[in-house]
Structure 1
Amino acid sequence: MTGTLFPALVLAGALTGCTAGEPRPAPPAPAPAASKAPAPERPDAANRAPSRIPGIGPQTHGRIPEGTTQALVVTGDGPDGNVATAVLHQRDPAGRWHRTAGPWTGHNALRGWTEAHTAGDLRSPIGVFRIGDAGGRLPDPGARFPYDQDEEFAVSGTGFLGESLEGSFDYVVAIDYNRIPGTTPLNKERPLGPEAGGGVWIHVDHGGPTQACVSLPREDMTELLRALDPAREPVVVMGPASVLAD
């Protein structure tokens, strides 16, 4: 057994058949002690990493495309909650997932989450969606995604809590929900029709809930934009923690 020290076995000389006055044969030399097998190497952090993203159940995990090796997991604090936590994970060649950035705290839609999002319901869609196009009012901060800088990203007014919305779209990442992938986040084409909603982005947090998007603090948005790698076919996995655990 690896790591077990076997005791040396000492065989005593047999006295049977020896008569008085005759020299007794010398007892055999004790068997050498078995060498102690080296202890197995302690697994490093990579070996301890799970083959499934923590908190993500088999059903949700099965929706992540096979070629995806980068996933932003956004979990809500309940089906009707609007505070969210985001963590970026990356899969290594051995199939193990590692947290690479976060957790970051931001917001989702005012009324929480839904698996059947419609325009104006003030809920964020639940699911696994590809991400791959970015943009914003400000210059590209170093994104690997195609980045569209445009003054159309300027926004004004106030949010649901009376907070200013200015600067919310300084940096955005388009979520591929009811949109044409490979186009600017400003593209208003809706393949599922306008009634299914659209324009669901990850954008700069303004200190309150959104209409359907996910928002993250400004410095976290710039970190995310620099980390997301289109070669890893990234997705966002988003919804209440209890639903994503299925």
Structure 2
Amino acid sequence: MELTDKNQYLRSIQLNREKIKSFKKYPFNLPAIKNLSNLKFHPNVTFIVGENGMGKSTILEAIATAYGFNPEGGTRNFNFSSRASHSELCNHIKMVKGIKRPKDGFFLRAESFYNLATTIEELDEDVGGPKIIDSYGGCSLHEQSHGESFFSVFINRFSGQGLYILDEPEAALSPSRQMTMITRIHELVRQEYQFIIATHSPIIMAYPNSIIYQIKNGFEITRYEETDHYETMHAFLNNKGKMLEILLG
């Protein structure tokens, strides 16, 4: 059973603009933030795409933190911090939640995944009984390749009826794994999952039951074929020789 706009976990966020002293300073000067007032989410999958430096990871981190996740990733039960580098944006966001509460959730981010894997091992050394790693496939995330450990979390840890926030999940995945990820997303959506995903991958953002926000001067709802990522990849693959001629002079 898929979530609908009536029972989704997170309906939207609102930026408390009147409490922000200046939009000339980070992170409020980022294109994703400076023109933001209200951002509505799809009940199943919301994609946030755009060039580097637009603020995708910053806004995703703020959403996750404001919702109660650890800024460096994991479930809402994780509280580790290798370096407190998250912005103050989370303090200026109002969460508009749905009538239904998620039973689970996870914030997966590429840049701090190593810290998450390390924390799991450290916690398992300190406690007896069932191991945390058992719910991640039973094999140390450090003893797998980066891509295998990413996919292991996605396959084993996500447990249904939850809000899952993913920051560039394609970072460690091959194109074939990214296609498998689409299949897995579809399976999970039918188990009342809601996803918010920042990505550069034209493969992952092709998932149809979704909305795509492209960040330029702000958030713009964009058709898949009209995203910069799709247009660039399509042009390159269909005109490789000409593109390389232009790029290499």
What's the TM-score once normalised by structure 1's chain length? 0.22
> Which is higher, the Rg of structure 1 or of structure 2?
1
| Structure with a larger share of its residues in strand | 1
The structure richer in helix per residue is 2
